[in-house]
Structure 1
Amino acid sequence: MRERFVGRSGLAVSALGLGTASWGRDVDEHEARDLLTTFLDAGGTLLDTGASYGAGTAESVLGAVLADIPRDDVILVTKAGAPTRTGRPGTSRGALLGTLDASLGRLGVDTVDLWLVQRWDPQVPSEETLAAMEHAVTTGRTRYVGVANHNGWQTAYVHTRQAMRETGAPIVADQVEYSLVNRTAEAEVLPAADALGFGVIAWSALGRGVLTGKYRHGVVPSDSRAASDHLAGFVEPYLQGSAPSVVEGVCRAADGLGLSPAEVALAWIRDRPAVASALVGPRTAAQLKGLLTVEDVVLPDEIVSALDDVSAEAG
């Protein structure tokens, strides 16, 4: 699998990243091990998790399946910053560093490769959050830092403030939702990435699963996310509005090219400007194998243009 640098940093990651948000709940340890083996065998490196995923369960499962994997074979990304159980801000120095230490323990490692503050919190001075990120780098807890779910001006603000501090912990990435059914990142985040040199990691690159085509014609498969009690609300926004017409456009392109809808959608997002890696979250190794074939897919320019047009309302 091809690798790319995250922005203008020296951090190289695989063009597809393996998301673990459902590990420990929808994906058990046996399935997780199969997913990891399949991903690594295909040359994948980026493994994305977060302290808030299942209240740490995802990190624990990932740590268990990583136990026999050479540390240098993977790029570990985790996140902190969600509100604490007491409702206090999660981006304070104490909350951030405490959460990071707990993540390292669950993952069974001394350091992660990229640590992201996953939300903008106006209750905490940015200087405090940035100082905690710098401390995490200087103490060896993480090699790089970034943010997640920050819009363009928020990312530009923390990136610039960190640069003004002249620290050794620049903001190298913003992880945001980005796909053919959600192109809002193009309004601010991608232009800011181009101007400032940070990279974009796209989560839910398959539009929360709808870009696989599985929900066409209003059909909700019984084993899908949209049919589950805890994820139905997550998928539902993309079963209405302009999303179904985008999905139809992707499926038509896939039929014409002899590809799957998922391959078309992933190839489109993978090759967008500033995108370092696109995250996928399959629940089985068989699903993952069906996505990894995108490595050899290059969309014709006219197809890219058509997809841009049909998905314009998602921007």
Structure 2
Amino acid sequence: MTYKRLGQTGLKVSQLCLGCMSFGEPGKGAHPWVLDEDASRAIIRRAVEAGINFFDTANVYADGASEEITGRALKDMARRDEVVIATKAFGPWGKGPNQGGLSRKALMQAVDDSLRRLGTDWIDLYQIHRWDSETPIEETLEALSDIVKAGKARYIGASSMYAWQFQKALLLSERNGWARFVSMQNHLNLIYREEEREMLPLCRDAGIGVIPWSPLARGRLTRPWGEMTERSGSDRFGSMLYARTEESDRQVVEAVATVAAARGAPMAQVALAWVLAKPEVTAPIIGVTKLAQLEDALAALDLTLSADELSALEAPYVPHPVLGHV
């Protein structure tokens, strides 16, 4: 396993980050396809054995069960100083008016709740899950900085937003001496490349680590077009993301299939190798529900695509509506 610095920090993370959204209690939360604790632990154990030290979850995944399972597994399988635990806050965890969002009140409650569920004294990377248009960004940034000063988080990061919003946040943090975002968790894959226009150049210029979510387009880049799985059949968020661009997306998937066939490699490895080849990317976040999917992701680390293969994969792409920011 190769380890890379996260942005301009001294923090070193594995070149793959294990996404923990698929860990929880079946039937609990928004996703019926989540794995139970035993199945989740098997995947986490294999990730640790393979040298993955970077694990990403969120307070709303499986209504908090993802954090609980991830925290218990890592406590049993690795020393705390050997792993980098990332989690996120923004989504509602209750029905009250302050049980969600990025207000000072919400963040101070959310971080304590996440620490309790994870069973740890600190979070390595505490991220805002989305931009909160109802809370002044100054309030959010100062609260995050106080969380870092209190020792509850080591670093802070952000997730999907517009580049102008991220630039504003970075400038405000610098101006006020607050803790600065060190990473951007954004939506990037072969069928959604709009982040190449502004966000990736901004991150490169500002020294921000990039840890993309959905690098395989929620499985669409891993199988022939139209083939369904249990997850894809019930994934309302994924259907919303890609519903308007099906024809152009189909052509991209077919290009992945062609390159994969010529290489004698699974489509998932080719699609992930494309993300890994982006110089701005630190570590894509891989979601796994089967051990074979994790093995494909690990194998992708050794797959280097040629310039001709990269061109063939990128050629069918057409501009997409901005997706994933809200």
Query: Normalising by structure 2, what TM-score?
Result: 0.90
Equivalence for 2:16: 16
Equivalence for 2:31: none
Instruction: Choose the corresponding residue for 1:297, options 276, 286, 303.
Output: 303
Query: Are residue 310 (structure 1) and residue 316 (structure 2) matched?
Result: yes
Partners in 2 of 1:4 and 1:303 — Cα distance? 25
Matches within 5 A, 1:198-217: 198-213=208-223, 215-216=224-225
Matches within 5 A, 1:187-226: 187-213=197-223, 215-216=224-225, 218-221=226-229, 224-226=230-232
- The one-character-per-residue Cα deviations of 1:263-287 (angstroms, maximum 9, x if unpaired) are 1111110121311110111112232
Matches within 5 A, 1:94-243: 94-167=105-178, 169-213=179-223, 215-216=224-225, 218-221=226-229, 224-228=230-234, 231-235=235-239, 237-238=241-242, 240-243=246-249
Matches within 5 A, 1:254-265: 254-265=260-271
Change (3 A) 1:187 1:87: farther
SS in 1 for 2:140: helix
Partners in 2 of 1:14 and 1:99 — Cα distance? 26
Partners in 1 of 2:104 and 2:63 — Cα distance? 19
Instruction: Check the 8 A contact 2:194/2:319 in 1, yes or no.
Output: no
Instruction: Check the 8 A contact 1:116/1:148 in 2, yes or no.
Output: yes
Instruction: Check the 8 A contact 1:282/1:288 in 2, yes or no.
Output: yes
Instruction: Check the 8 A contact 1:226/1:233 in 2, yes or no.
Output: no
Q: Displacement of 1:292 after TM fit? A: 1.2
Instruction: Check the 8 A contact 2:212/2:285 in 1, yes or no.
Output: yes
| Structure 1 residue ranges, 4+ long, deviating more than 6 angstroms after superposition | none
Instruction: Check the 8 A contact 2:276/2:301 in 1, yes or no.
Output: no
Instruction: Check the 8 A contact 2:248/2:318 in 1, yes or no.
Output: no
Q: Displacement of 1:236 after TM fit? A: 6.0
Instruction: Choose the corresponding residue for 1:244, options 250, 273, 276.
Output: 250
- The one-character-per-residue Cα deviations of 1:186-244 (angstroms, maximum 9, x if unpaired) are 1221111122111111001101111101x52x2324xx31123xx24524644623111
Change (3 A) 1:124 1:236: closer
Q: Displacement of 1:35 after TM fit? A: 0.6
Partners in 1 of 2:83 and 2:237 — Cα distance? 32
- The one-character-per-residue Cα deviations of 1:247-303 (angstroms, maximum 9, x if unpaired) are 000110111112111111111101213111101111122321222111211111111
Partners in 1 of 2:279 and 2:171 — Cα distance? 21
Instruction: Check the 8 A contact 1:208/1:235 in 2, yes or no.
Output: no
Instruction: Choose the corresponding residue for 2:38, options 30, 36, 46.
Output: 30
- The one-character-per-residue Cα deviations of 1:155-196 (angstroms, maximum 9, x if unpaired) are 1110111011123x2111111111001111112211111221
Return 5+ residue gaps in structure 2 as ranges: 27-33, 322-326
Partners in 1 of 2:85 and 2:72 — Cα distance? 14
Partners in 2 of 1:244 and 1:140 — Cα distance? 47
Alpha carbon RMSD of aligned pairs, Å? 1.7
Equivalence for 2:324: none
Query: Are residue 3 (structure 1) and residue 42 (structure 2) matched?
Result: no
Partners in 2 of 1:18 and 1:192 — Cα distance? 25
Partners in 2 of 1:203 and 1:40 — Cα distance? 20
Count of aligned positions = 308
Change (3 A) 1:252 1:236: farther
Instruction: Check the 8 A contact 2:215/2:286 in 1, yes or no.
Output: yes
Equivalence for 1:281: 287
Instruction: Check the 8 A contact 2:252/2:314 in 1, yes or no.
Output: no
Q: Displacement of 1:314 after TM fit? A: 4.8
Instruction: Check the 8 A contact 1:210/1:238 in 2, yes or no.
Output: no
Matches within 5 A, 1:41-120: 41-68=49-76, 69-83=78-92, 85-88=95-98, 90-120=101-131
Query: Normalising by structure 1, what TM-score?
Result: 0.93
